[in-house]
Structure 1
Amino acid sequence: MKVTSMKRRLLIGSIAALPLLQTLPARAAASKVHVYKNRSCGCCTAWVEHLKTAGFAVDVTETDDTAAVRKRHGMPERLAGCHTGVVEGYVLEGHVPAADVKRLLAAKPQAVGLAVPGMPVGSPGMEYGDRKDPYKVILVDRKGRETVFASYPG
């Protein structure tokens, strides 16, 4: 009799969890980042791993011309990093922390995306021991205006 009762509880619990399970594929699809990077760049690969560790699904396209990708997606060249990501219509240029990507996706501003210009030491994928240089994450709106989205003091 106890076995039947346990099976019944398991069945009822499974049925109750079904609506939650049905939302998982939509959430996973909504957080897929497509990264364009040079095939030989180790820091780009490290940034991809940073995103995966933070829960993002990541597709990678290797290219020798990330400038063309930036231009196609509307990210100004002056904010160039060493790779470009695209997620839910937003551009991620350079070593943008995953936490800032999540905040961007939650806020959904009218913007081109986020950029971390250059390759600042200590940013995700650019770790070098305990060294952390200060850097800013820049939000680029659709008119090309730039505002500081996040600051990292180093």
Structure 2
Amino acid sequence: MIKVDSMVLKNNLTKITYITLLTILFLYILNFVTDKNEALANVENKQIVEVFKSPSCGCCNGYVLFLEKENFKVKQTDLESIHTIKQKYAIPLEMQSCHTTIIDKYFIEGHVPLEAINKLLKERPDIDGLALPGMPIGTPGMPGVKEEPYVIYQLVDGNFSVFMTI
């Protein structure tokens, strides 16, 4: 029969408990830092964006407030004819929404959520921009609660394909 010293066993259990607690704490901190990383990137960079919109569009103003809340520095440009900016960037009619945002070399058409914008800025794909056609309920700047997945499209030379679904 193996004789185990109770003091040695107690010390080993204490070490295991201590290591386990440290591991849990480390993982918690790592998760916290990772979750905040996207928002912090905008704070640190003070990413400048320009939103082209109609002067009377209420949901466009809501989207501007959303971007500012996410720490983007927003320049608003009111246009009498919003179609000129859409023509400039060759945004097809079926991909259009009520406003167009320019971030770096990309356009963002419509009420695109932060998750898609951050993915775009992180991956920097060789595309012209992103679009969330129409004005889906529950998107940034729009009232209501999300009712269905949002399909975000990527556009290249007027052609489009799915970028991501949120």
- State TM-score, norm by structure 2: 0.68
Specify the alignment match of 1:15 in structure 2: none
Specify the alignment match of 1:150 in structure 2: 164
User: Matches of residues 4-153 of structure 1 in structure 2 within 5 Å?
Assistant: 27-28=45-46, 31-128=47-144, 130-141=145-156, 143-152=157-166
Question: Percent sequence identity over matched residues?
Answer: 34
Post-superposition shift, 1:25? 10
Q: What secondary structure, in the 3-state scheme, does the structure 1 residue paired with 2:128 have?
A: strand
- Deviations along 1:91-139, whole A, 9 cap, x unmatched? 11010112211110111111110001011111111122x3534331111
Q: What secondary structure, in the 3-state scheme, does the structure 2 residue paired with 1:46 have?
A: helix
Q: What secondary structure, in the 3-state scheme, does the structure 1 residue paired with 2:129 have?
A: strand
> Does the 8 Å contact 2:43/2:72 carry over to 1?
no
**Which amino acid in structure 1 is aligned with residue 70 of structure 2?**
A
Structure number, greater radius of gyration: 2
Distance change in 2, residues 1:109/1:38 (3 Å): same
Structure 1: any 5+ residue segments left out of the alignment?
1-23
**Which amino acid in structure 2 is aligned with residue 136 of structure 1?**
V
RMSD: 2.0
Runs of 4+ in 1 over 6 A off after TM superposition: none
CA distance in 1: counterparts of 2:74 and 2:86, whole angstroms? 18
> Does the 8 Å contact 2:139/2:146 carry over to 1?
no
**Which amino acid in structure 2 is aligned with residue 77 of structure 1?**
L
Specify the alignment match of 2:10 in structure 1: none
- State TM-score, norm by structure 1: 0.73
- Deviations along 1:1-27, whole A, 9 cap, x unmatched? xxxxxxxxxxxxxxxxxxxxxxx9992
> Does the 8 Å contact 2:52/2:82 carry over to 1?
yes
Structure 2: any 5+ residue segments left out of the alignment?
1-41
- Deviations along 1:15-72, whole A, 9 cap, x unmatched? xxxxxxxxx99922xx211001111111001111111111211100011211110111
> Does the 8 Å contact 1:75/1:91 carry over to 2?
no
